[in-house]
Structure 1
Amino acid sequence: MSTQTHAATSAPTSTPLCDEHVSVVVVGGGQAGLSMSYCLKQYGIDHVVLEKHTVTHTWREQRWDAFCLVTPNWQCALPDYPYRGDDPHGFMKKDEIIAWLDGFVQHVDAPVREGVAVTRVTRRAQGGFVVQTSAGTLSADQVVVAAGGYHTPIVPRMAERLPSSVVQIQSSEYRNAGALPEGAVLVVGSGQSGAQIAEDLHLAGRKVVLAVGEAPRCARFYRGRDVVDWLADMKYYDMPVEAHPLREGVRDNTNHYVTGRDGGRDIDLRKFASEGMALYGALDDYVDGALRFRPNLRANLDSADETYNRINASIDKFIAQKGIDAPPGEIYRAVWEPQAERSALDLASSGIGSIVWCIGFRPDFSWVDLPIFNGRGYPGHARGVTAQEGLYFLGLPWLHTWGSGRFSGIARDAAFLADRIVELARPDARAA
């Protein structure tokens, strides 16, 4: 049964014998949930944060060893907790990110209950919500879902037909090249994770076969500055979703691939190909012992480069309009071209011993038993505020702006929702 159908048939429950009542339940103990807790504490709103694992679990357990930020450190600005290190234009590595988040955890001192999974959220007949968990049932006046939007790894059904001798993992399980068995590695997907994992394997000397998707790319540095710095000056990161040319459709966009590794640089798949990485189009199927690829490698590489040059052109225009003195710009020119589209690869003779699936995640909000979702399982909302009074979402990509699912925009979104929560909790104060 789909989430949409399941939610639409829900009716207010009879009054349960709840173990406990709190004003606000925050679901998720990552940076979004902790940011929400910080803002609620400023207003003196009693609340609890429920986290099924441990706080900031994803950063500790689902990142590879060489992982680093792709956005500069200065964009790390959680509530009342900006980056204060000595390298604002650098890119924190995994251990540095965890240390910074550990400081934020202490800074917030949130009322967190770890190891508590939320299994169902429903309406109460008399108002508010029933929150069923692995540790009992709570009632709440309001609920903030801050559990992110990347829940279920996407792995195609064709994976079931691949030989058991080929080790298959998802991007969240990848740690380093040495943890994979000998042989070539097929990386499926060229978004942020896929491109960076392919680079990690390539730099480690592994033979990499990369199935290239439709992800765009951007420059790391252009005309003397990080592209992020230019875009910040151009107010791109302040653009609300309703002002974006794609409107809510931007939420479905794949992130541009680039890296902060070794001080930051472009990721150029064409350069990797010239150095021996085998590039194919998008993986389509596995038939009669052969991997089948779509004949779209050239189109996907060209499209990524067009986006790269288009972003740079927008920076050129901004520089010209503002009369800024900056080094000259340039157009990216391909350093490698595929000679032909290769549509098949015999798995047995390829030497591929492992596959890393890097084609994203699906949201799973099936436990939110309320009629707010679209046909793809995403909640309908306006800046995190749903049609169900007292139910909110926080930390989703483009919830409000580009930074909504990142360290740079969560503070603003959390503060906005905290204001809405207070207005509903204290109507007398709102009237005054």
Structure 2
Amino acid sequence: MFKKVLIANRGEIALRIIRACKELGIETVAVYSDADIESLHVAFADESVCIGPRQASESYLNIKNIISAAEIADVDAIHPGYGFLAENPHFAKVCEECGFEFIGPSSEHISLMGNKSKAKETMKNLGVPVVPGSEGAVKDKDEGLKIAEEIGFPVIIKASAGGGGKGMRVAHSELSFLKNFETAKNEAKSAFGNDEVYIEKFIEEPRHIEIQVFGDGAGDALHFFERECSIQRRHQKLLEEGPSPFLTERMREKMGKVSVDAVKGLGYKNAGTIEYLVDKYGNFYFMEMNTRIQVEHPVTEMITGVDLVQLQLKIAAGEPFDISQKDIKIIGHAVECRINAEDPDTFAPSPGKIEAYYAPGGFGVRVDSATYQDYIVLPYYDSMIAKMIVFGKNREEAVNRTKRSLDEFIVEGIKTTVSLHKRILANHAFIKGDVTTDFIDRYMRE
């Protein structure tokens, strides 16, 4: 096992990794921008190194400074967390070349899955169902329009190198396709430096369901069941739960097997999440694979009892799986609410000083956060200030416990999404488990 790990991240995920390391007897090194000097991940790590000013481009995205910090601290490995450099293949490769174990998949797998059109083609060849569409990127609008007419409107135009809703446009007719094609390409170029786009059939009112997977890099793989992630705004998840209230045992088994077979076929190592669109008939289609630990990984930890971050560390250190697929069982239900420093109606960021802070507790309640009273929410980074994950023996108990916990959650001085989550949990469609990716626009914009 590693003796010392550097965490190339900040906030709650950095704190989460520090905790996992300490429980395995691993020393930790935090990196921080000068704006984060009073952050909890800096306070709780064994060592800390400043890597630059508040701008992420000069600190948390500065590969040279992070590698220098790793060399100064004499670490064995680097954990990227999520966001920032977590899915940057160049960073993973630099870590490898400099003699630091990158706690994640290989740079080749990150690169492959980071290109959406190549990822789709690869998964299709591995037997994973894919949405009908173009074979890779389309060269121009004429080729794109021909494909759109063949598969039938509506279609969605997506950036090959993108994510987070950027470079993504839906077209319901030839006219809207021609208009949106150039818009999508321009957005993709601006956001990712790559204007390649591909075309897919647009699945109306889909669910977004993902499968948590792990590979050992030697051809073996496991899945840890699914998470329902359909409640989103602007393609960013707000509330996740597991297991999905929609899947039958037969569907769950099929999605798990297909996902594991794909991971084995890739020879993939460490944590990954295969994301699917699922239509109302139960057909599922590959959307993308995230080559990192997810924000919502605690949902899976709660319903399986497995520490996924510790498993990441063990796999990266070359240890074999200490659990088999038959040992992984769903032992209850979990709901995760992302508490963001945002206006709950407009989603506008709400940075500032937290004047009062109280996190809920009690049986089955977990709060992952690096926030405290008098903490200043900075405008330079992601707006999420806490994740509240609640467990119950079944969905009804988990939802009722989540409602109670939200009533206890106190954050004063800034606006948060706590009240929005209360409205979501009170909604009749959510209570029935009838959630699709347009849930927020359909029910929360009234």
TM-score, with length taken from structure 1: 0.24
Which protein has greater RCO, CA pairs closer than 8 Å, 6+ apart?
1
TM-score when scaled to structure 2? 0.24
Which entry has the higher C-alpha Rg, 1 or 2? 1
